[in-house]
Amino acid sequence: MTSHLAEEMTRPLRLPGSGDVGILAVHGFTGSPASMRPLAQALHTATGAPVRVPLLPGHGTDLDDMASSTWEQWCSAVDRTADELRSECSQIVLIGLSMGGALCLHTAANRSDTAHIGLINPAVYVDSPFAPFAGSLAGLIERVPGIENAINKPGQDELAYPQVPLRSVGELFRGVRNVRSLLWRVHAPITYFLSGSDDVVSPRSWNSVRRGVRGPMTTVPLPMSNHVATLDYDSGKIERTLTAAVRGLQGAADGA
């Protein structure tokens, strides 16, 4: 991939549309909108809904930016984008990959206009024994290896950082712990996409969400995919399932 194309793929995506339902798709930790673009564009084509894919602070630029960004800034970026969509439509479908899923749960716990949530291998736990100590160790260890491109399908690139500032791991650990405490406030229906092999997030995230939320949850298995399932073999199943969910909401809104 050329540097120009890579730069284009990591930019925020804004697709205009019409109707009462808007779509907000959020990328994962150290990743970029590149991981969500194909899904977002497919949903826009299929439904005509307005779509937003924000670039989270500290992502898609350099590791210094990443190291200085915070969980609160990531949450605020998602909330601002939801507010922007809300000015155009009355209902929002939140879709999040990995940390993006945790951010969507955080947003849904704090607003009532969420009509549906699509979670793609959401990270509500940081599955490393060192994560609780990341903040205190950041002064000794600046960076650790990244988690980029956990994808089974060859030739895919989510354009994530190859390394991770340890301070950022601490921010993620702190943030998802807060999300777990808010799950009881999430009442919107959830479609949970669960990969057959996941090198990043363990099944305890699925268990935590299933037990914690108050709304109905449907699990959709993705047997051929790894963590970044939006770019993997089962991406078509994600697109079809979420298209049906959005169209159902659109039909209900039109009939109201």
pLDDT at 161: 87
Q: What is the pLDDT along the chain (256 residues), one digit of tens a residue?
A: 546 556 778 899 999 999 999 999 999 999 999 999 999 999 999 999 999 999 999 998 888 999 999 999 999 999 999 999 999 999 999 999 999 999 999 999 998 889 999 999 999 998 765 555 455 555 555 566 677 789 999 999 998 888 888 888 889 989 999 999 999 999 999 999 999 999 899 999 999 999 999 999 999 999 999 999 999 999 999 999 999 999 999 988 776 5
Q: Which long-range contacts (CB under 8 A, 24 or more apart) does 80-83 make?
A: 80/54, 81/24, 81/52, 81/54, 82/24, 82/107, 82/111, 82/113
Please give the full DSSP string across 197-251, using - where no structure is assigned.
Answer: S-SS--THHHHHHHHH-SS-EEEEEETT--S-GGGSTTHHHHHHHHHHHHHHHHH
Which of 27, 106, 116, 227 is catalytic? The answer is 227
pLDDT at 2: 47
Residues 3-255, CATH architecture: 3-Layer(aba) Sandwich (3.40)
The candidate with the shortest Cα–Cα distance to 209, out of 93, 92, 99, 123, is 123
**Active-site residue flag, 181:** no
| Amino acid in position 46 | A
**Active-site residue flag, 198:** yes
pLDDT at 151: 96
pLDDT at 133: 47
Q: CA-based Rg of the chain, rounded to a whole angstrom?
A: 17
pLDDT at 159: 87
Which of 198, 205, 225, 234 is catalytic? The answer is 198
**Active-site residue flag, 116:** no
pLDDT at 106: 97
Which of 98, 168, 205, 235 is catalytic? The answer is 98
